[in-house]
Structure 1
Amino acid sequence: MKQVININFQGQVVPIEVTAFDILKQYTDSLNRYFANEEGKEEIINDIENRIGELFQERLKTGVTCITDDDVNAIIKSMGRPEEFEPGDNSAGEQSYNSNAGAQNFAGFNPTGAKRLYRNENSKIIGGVCSGIANYLNIDVVIVRIIFIVLFGALFIPYLVLWIAVPSSASVVIGSPRKRLFRDTDDKVIGGVCSGLSNYFGINVWIPRVLFLLPILSFASRWGHWGDFPDFFRMSFSPTALIIYIILWLVIPEATTTSEKLEMKGEKVDMNSIKASVVEEMKGMQQRAEKFGQDAKAFASDKTKAVGAEMAPLARRSRGLGDIIVLLFKIFAYFIIGCVAIGIIVALFGFGIASVGLFPIKDFVLTDGWQNVFAWGTLIFFIAVPIIGIITWIIRRLAKVRTNSKFLRISFAAMWILGLICFINLIVTVGRDFRSNSTINEEVLPLTNASVNKLEVTTLSPNTKYYRNQWFRIEPFSAVEDDTAMVGNVRVHIIKSPTDSFRVTVLRLANGRNRRSADTLAASIPFNAYQADSLLVIDRGIPINKTDKFRNQRVIVTVYVPVGKQIRVNQNTGWGNHIQIDGPGNDDWSLETAGVEHGWEKDTDYIMKEDGLYTLDGIPADDWKNDEDRVRSGRRGLEIRDGKNRVRINENGIQ
């Protein structure tokens, strides 16, 4: 039995046979002699020893108790001996070729000669599964890849399982070439993730950068899932791209050593490649240092002259507090300008998304003629042109392309000014069509039985879906046909009746260029409502056509409930809010809220009392105004309320 010792090799404890350590010592001594006169020999030898240490750790991870003579000889064969790289000796190329060929053979066979499946690291696109199966079955790899592509849905999970379970061909031959995924911080913009992916898949670095950038720019289009923002775009990878990038940044290791940088590019890691990489890196550092020195010298010279020119008269005038205040004011002004610029850019993208969403229903809002012309001009010149300019600038920055075209800047500026003119005219012309309110003219709805004890408000077509939102977007017009769009601008108000009978009124409202046009449009709103026994059946939405256009048409159904009688509004009647374009002078908030009961919820039975609307449990409809905790006892048991949370205890238990 051979003697085993523990050595500290490149910061790692390595159990190794004494004879194997002697072989390793002879090899490192030969490296010191070979690179004795080489510039940067310490870096080269240190990187080679780092690589040997990595191979030691890979070998120990397989379960062996120590490093043997065969292990050291296999590593030395992988790395190459100094005499194999003497000038004029082409054995290096032969050695590299033979090593690659050996690794290729081991993709299908293990050292005992029995056939076994391995992932082929030398001919892989993603994980080497397809090329490994092709080697195992002795067929063309293209056939296997086509099968996986055609049956992607069924074979995706098996591919991942094989990628994890099947060993790599690099695990058979120590030091065989393989490609690993690292972050390339030498060519990074943020974290080096995209440049690392480009090295791994063998593509240009701008491709993953654009694939990550575009979803991030479209992040605002999915904001509707997190808050009130237009969400008519549906891009499934929108905010996920940023999350994926951050995860990859945290998970993928950085290529720090020379061997890791070579593995990142799929190159063979041997003595010659490490030497070439170190020499190339040193040359690059030297060039960068020289360039930095020149830039620093020029910058210092220019700034010295500029500061001298500014400070000389300043020193002559004063050195008081006033100059410091001026400097702080400049910094604050630049900060404000930067914030405003960022705000304009964000608003521009948001406005662009909203405008694109509105265009499918523009014929229901805009009149023919100049409004359409101004709308197209706004979309193209005011929105699209700056967005294209910003995206182009970002891509050029990522691709490190520098251009200084005065003609291009002037052209973009001229088109944007033209778009600004179109935008202002569009706002003015459309605003004129909404500036006047219609006359208040309530219509009393005849009831067939106004003395019923309970009235339930429901809709004619409970399965029809009309959307609403406080943002003016395409969703409220989701039920759109060729010449008609449905808008859910129907509100139900509940007021205490002065009599002992139910009473229902219908108020039609609209805006227009003048009072007459607003009255005409309001009178033409088609809205159906009638009583059927204890049901008050109403339309859920208002149809808008391309002739009359959308001018804030809305209907308010007011139900006067007698004291002691019940009322219920079903959820299928829609929501309380509606689509409305407000402008100066057309605010009817006070009209729609005067004397109206607030706080009631749909699909809940209420009873009218002298002091307002109550649930059947005795809770006021406007109980939301009271923030303190409440404990109530009634016919349904003991009820404990904390804000919107409620616990009820009765004979049935805790609810």
Structure 2
Amino acid sequence: MKKIININLSGRLIPIEDSAYEVLRQYLDSLKRYFAKEEGGDEIVTDIEARIAELFNDKLKNGAHCITDADVEAVKLSMGTPEQFDEDAPKDQHQQQSFAGAAPAGDRPRKRFYRDPEDKVVSGVCGGLGAYFNVDPVVFRIIFTLLVLGSFGAAAIVYIVLWVSAPYAETSAEKLEMRGEKVDLNNIKNTVQEEMHNVKNQFAKAGNDIKNFSQGRGRQIGNDIERFFLGFFRGLGKVIVAITKSFFIFFAVVILFCLIVTGIALIVSSAALVPLQHLVFANGTQVVMFWGSLGLIIGIPVLALVIFLVRKATGAKQTSRFVAPTLAFLWIIGLVTAAGLASSFVRDVRRSSTTTDVFNVAQPPAGKLLVKLADKDYIYHDDDIEFGIFDDDVRITGDTTVINDIRVRLEKSNTDSFQVEVLRYAKGRTNGEAAANAENIVFQLSQQDSVLYIPRGFGLREGSRYRVQRVVVVIKVPKGKNIDVDNEVYRHFSFRSHSKYDDDYFYDRVWRDEDGRSSLEVTPGGEIREKNKTQPANKDSLETNYKYHSSFNIALPAPNTAQEPA
């Protein structure tokens, strides 16, 4: 049993026996060694490999499963070996005749129609026909011209079909087949070398023509053209330089103006930013690093632009050689300081902690808990000036800091009573500091009859700093009881109706009908899902005939002992 391998020969995948591949490799190596001393040796070997690959491919198309030793020997017999070129002409001719007689009939010279790339006017069709029929291509060109004129263009279709269907004779083997010559080593070598000589002659002729033209009138015309373009490009270069300088000066003025406006805005707003220092910065070092880095990062570019514009305005050629390095050094110091400050902030919030408090809920007598937003006067005052930072989660109102990051989570209660838990979440440099920051959150729920009031925000005790504090109100609803949530609460807070996600994720805001009412239900398995609601508007237990037109209702089905799991 012989081993079969796949080889890539001139871009074709050829299955070949291992022993046959060894014979083929030795044959190709001998060709490379022989033609290495010939002009265009690499091109000759490449064309020979392409011809061998074509012969092998024809063999496979005829039903052969792979290339055998006999197939390789037949190719060698058809193509010839380098040793034949070292013998004299009569002996060589006798050997080639004997090889031709021993070769298979499929290896005899054959003609194929190709388009001739070396003798073409449009596409090489007529040149290929002339080579195939051994007729001057001019004859076919005249015939096609007359047929196109006489048939009102019908012959052009025939020409186009031949153009599309006939391939170019690109390799030496294809050019030999186009002329009906035997495709062997000697003819391939002669074809490649002839092509190289033709290319050299064409380049030499073109060089001589250019040289002769340049020595006469061409030299004079060339000098005139050179003078014209030199003058044109010199003038164009001056215009481009002037426009570029003007653009950069204008751009520098615009940047300087923007930086100055930014600096003025920072100075004006610094009075409002100073009170925030105790809320954000942990110590005086961070305060110094913040203002220092801010001044250097913004101030150094402003100063550099001012120096640049002053130089352009006064015509000064240069400044002290220490100015640019000094400004660059100070600006880098600002960047390093800002990076250090950012690293310090990251360390200040690397730990987190959560505390849990239970709010004692007075169970509503009607089995329905109402959730409303506390009055605005609970925290805000209409005559205060307020602004927000950290995506508006922290608002400064007068001398009061209010954090709005409150979330409400609805869960199924494991008892038959409403339960409310308050989760206080905060970060800190250490676990203990994070726990202390969570304890310093000032947040208080309140209840009046069956109404649970949730504050609009929460505050921090004196001396506390903002460390991503958050409050999560968990309302646990028992089966068979209802909860109505005022739509103002729904709009103001982030809601989640299930607890399978962590509180760090953004809460969903869903389940709203066109009339501002939506309905959820808790299944016996504890899953809260949307349900079709047909119940009438609910009435507040405190205000007669008050309707929650912009509220959503959660109705948990009453226990069904028949369906309850054991």
TM-score class, shorter-chain normalisation, is: 0.3 to 0.5
Query: What TM-score do you get using the length of structure 1 for normalisation?
Result: 0.35
Q: Which has the larger radius of gyration?
A: 2
Query: What TM-score do you get using the length of structure 2 for normalisation?
Result: 0.39
